[in-house]
Structure 1
Amino acid sequence: MKLKRFLIRYYPPGIILEYEKGGHLRTKSIDLLELSPETDTDELVAEIRQSEPLVTESRVEQVKQLVLRLKHKLSQREHQHVSLFKALQAHILPLTNVAFNKSGSSFITGSYDRTCRIWDTASGAELHTLEGHRNVVYAIAFNNPYGDKVATGSFDKTCKLWSAVTGKCLHTFRGHMAEIVCLAFNPQGTLVATGSMDTSARLWDVEGGEEVATLTGHTAEVITVSFNTVGDLLLTGSFDHTVSLWEVASGRRVHTLMGHSGEITNVQLNWDCSLILSGSMDKTTKLWSAVDGKCVTTLTGHTEEVLDVCFDLTGQLIATASADGTARVYNAATYHCLVMLEGHKGEISKICFSPQGSRVLTASSDKTARLWDVASGLCLQVLEGHSDEIFSCAFNYEGDTIITGSKDNSCRIWR
């Protein structure tokens, strides 16, 4: 094995090693999820040197400089306030979803008008309209980190793969017997997973456009799909009250997580793939061990359905959003509720952490989105101006730009 170069990853903090083995270029990552501005640099570098044979004595100074850069990034104060940059009358019918590419230089919007549009974030200019679906475009995603392809899932039962560069349709994936309501790319960008109201999830080959596997076993619609950070496992959440963990290579179901008494609303694996998070209409959030599929704890407190859940990028914090109009942030290790986020006057359907993990963004039926401080639970800002409910929102990679998508047919860029 021969080390070629180091790459830095700011969110979550880590160092990527690019090395040659058997004539092939490979990568592995050293995750530094516990890194803070107070971390002893020399001590950490010594630990890395001890556990990673590719980091030889001659590379120690290089690694030290990367750790210092990561610490400097972590110590930078976030720009807490955003202003409305542009309101885009994006579609002729309500939006369904919004999503950024990895760098945040462009974003996509899906709509009931049967199209997906690609936008330039810096100017607000429309780059492409992706036309061809015969029904609502409900699920959308970039193939991050690459950002050169877009997948769209539709109520017309198909998923389409597009070039983000030219706007041309590359493949149409056919096979589902009912509406497609969720999709995700694997981290390598080689597979797309789709979930449907036909109770199945399917895996599709990006290059060849063929179906790779049909994952059956759920007894109601598959409402959410997500890959782990390595891309060898897929999570599916269903209205049948269960969550399934699948082995991507074989299509085998590894675990069925049973315990919720209501429909699943969202599921997610944490960064190191040790924990699974699930939110449900039964008003609870559950944490499960990804190793044995056992429930670790149940987070209670919401008085109405839990509509969205997520980990921060390091996997140390959990956020939950509810139809009761409140959101909560929990410590993923102790399960304690750290703060309650109160102020919305309607249900909160979407929640996400900033890449830095110090702020939370919520979208609500009260026509506003809100920015919250994780440490104090205080509302930093109310993002107002939409004339109907907001049901999609996202941060860019740097955490300094926000997109909100609304039922009012528009999206807004805040920065």
Structure 2
Amino acid sequence: MRPILLQGHERSLTQIKFNREGDLLFSASKDHVINVWFTDNGERLGTYDGHNGTVWTIDVDSQSTFLVSGSADNLMKLWSVQTGKCLFTWEFNTAVKRVAFSETDDQIVCVTEQRMGYQGAIWIFDINREGDGTQQSKEPANMFHPVGSKATLCAFAHVPGMIVTGHESGKVALFDAKTGEEVQSNERAHMDVVTDLQLSSDRSYFVTSSKDKTARLHETKTLEVLKTYTTETPLNSAALSPGKPYVLLGGGQEAMSVTTTSLRQGKFETRFWHKIFEEEIGRVKGHFGPINTIAVSPKGDCYASGGEDGFVRVHHYDESYFRAKPYGDLEVDE
């Protein structure tokens, strides 16, 4: 698996995201810039310029029409994927840590940080898809403050009007988007801050990674922990592989403590775990620092990782990956 190295950022990566077809890869980083790349050859298609702070988070709609981004400059921006033009900007009192489109692309949910006397909040905005996308409402469809531990991650859950969140204390919760009521919560989902949350394609289950050195698979409806993958380094990202029973994990020691350890001990590898058997089955090296974000193409033919070193590495799977029998001789109907 020879990786394609994408060099378009000057600082560490914060989030990478494939579009639904898997032919485009979007990358956000601490250098204020968002890039978009062709997945098959790693060619840079363009950039989205306009933020004045670390871009913490991005998401693209299922039609690859709109891109949404959240940044440390307290802004959330809506972009035209095709032209790179900023269509609309929402302003907040604190940084936007996570953004996500709903399944039907007509809503965006975002989490703003708790800071400087402002409470952390979850905001839901209706997206007007008529016309060129510049006619958006500044007013949220709803906004609420999660009680207790502050939320760092959010996404639309398995049914419309439900939001799943990951928190600093390690808890995951389900909120009603209309009332802001906490419908379900699992306080002990993790023992430390939840660093990533990615849903399966049908949103019936999701994977989380945490600084407590574990990644976990949860059922969306009940938040029950189905599987646990325990490693020996803090994890920053976890992704699910469509079509194969694999979970990809990435992390590594903080950059500060890395100088005292060798690269080998830093564990800067993408680690493949068997989703069902909870066993590690492979590792891919390459980054010179912790892996901050991992994404798998919805087609299942490649994956990408973004690191503290400022590089995005795109790995297209070899033929042997598709021939491998993850369940031994057992044939599984897809």
TM-score with structure 1 length normalisation? 0.61
Match for residue 107 of structure 1? 25
The alpha carbon displacement at 1:135 in A equals 0.6
Q: Is the 8 A contact 2:205 2:217 kept in 1?
A: no
In structure 2, the partner of 1:214 is: 143
Percent identity between the two aligned chains? 22
Q: 5+ unaligned residues in a row in structure 2: which ranges?
A: 115-119, 129-135, 253-266, 317-334
Find the counterpart in structure 1 of residue 179 from structure 2.
251
Q: SS state of the match for residue 251, structure 1?
A: coil
- What RMSD over aligned residues (CA atoms) do the two structures have, in Å? 3.2
**1:308 to 1:381, Cα distance in 2 relative to 1, 3 A:** closer
Q: Which residue of 1 aligns with 2:216?
A: 309
**How far 1:139 moved relative to its partner?**
1.0
CA separation of 1:218 and 1:102: change in aligned 2, threshold 3 A: same
C-alpha distance in 2 between matches for 1:276 and 1:212: 25
Once residues 205 and 247 of structure 2 are traced to their aligned partners in structure 1, the CA distance between those partners, rounded to angstroms, is: 21
1:20 maps to none
> Amino acid of the residue matched to residue 142 of structure 2?
A
> Aligned pair 1:202/2:119, yes or no?
no
C-alpha spacing 1:251/1:118, structure 2 compared with 1 (3 Å):
farther
| 2:234 aligned residue | 347
Task: Report the equivalent of 1:150.
Answer: 67
Mapped pair 1:97 → 2:15: yes
2:111 maps to a residue whose letter is: G
Tell me, yes or no, if the aligned pair for 1:319 and 1:351 is still in contact at 8 Å: no
Q: 1:235 to 1:376 in 2, by over 3 A?
A: closer
Aligned length: 286
- What is the SS of the residue equivalent to 1:217? coil
Give the distance between the partners of 1:253 and 1:271, measured in 2 at CA.
25
CA distance in structure 2 between the aligned counterparts of 1:247 and 1:111, rounded to whole angstroms: 31
Asked if residue 385 in structure 1 is aligned to residue 302 in structure 2, the reply is: no
1:213-262 C-alpha deviation (Å, 9 max, x unpaired): 111233453201011233321122332565443223x2331425264395
Flag structure 1 segments of 5+ consecutive residues without an equivalent. 1-82, 282-304, 326-345
Q: Which amino acid aligns with 2:175?
A: W
User: Secondary structure at the residue paired with 1:123?
Assistant: coil
Aligned twin of 2:260 = none
Task: Kindly indicate whether structure 1 or structure 2 has the higher relative contact order, using CA contacts under 8 Å at least 6 residues apart.
Answer: 2
Change (3 A) 1:101 1:316: farther
Shift of 1:112: 0.5
Please give the alpha-carbon distance, in whole angstroms, between the structure 2 residues aligned to 1:390 and 1:90.
Answer: 16
Are 2:25 and 2:36, in contact at CA under 8 Å, matched by a contact in 1? Answer: yes
Residue of structure 1 aligned with 2:245, choices 358, 376, 390 = 358
Q: 1:132 to 1:215 in 2, by over 3 A?
A: same
Query: Max radius of gyration: which structure?
Result: 1
Q: 1:165 to 1:267 in 2, by over 3 A?
A: closer
Q: How do residues 240-319 of structure 1 correspond to structure 2 at under 5 angstroms?
A: 242-248=171-177, 250-255=178-183, 257=185, 259-260=187-188, 262-265=191-194, 305-306=212-213, 308-310=215-217, 318-319=226-227
Tell me by how many angstroms 1:405 deviates: 0.6
Q: Could you tell me how far apart the structure 2 residues matched to 1:280 and 1:393 are?
A: 14
TM-fit CA distance, 1:369: 0.9
Separation (CA, whole Å) in 2 of partners of 1:273 and 1:368: 27
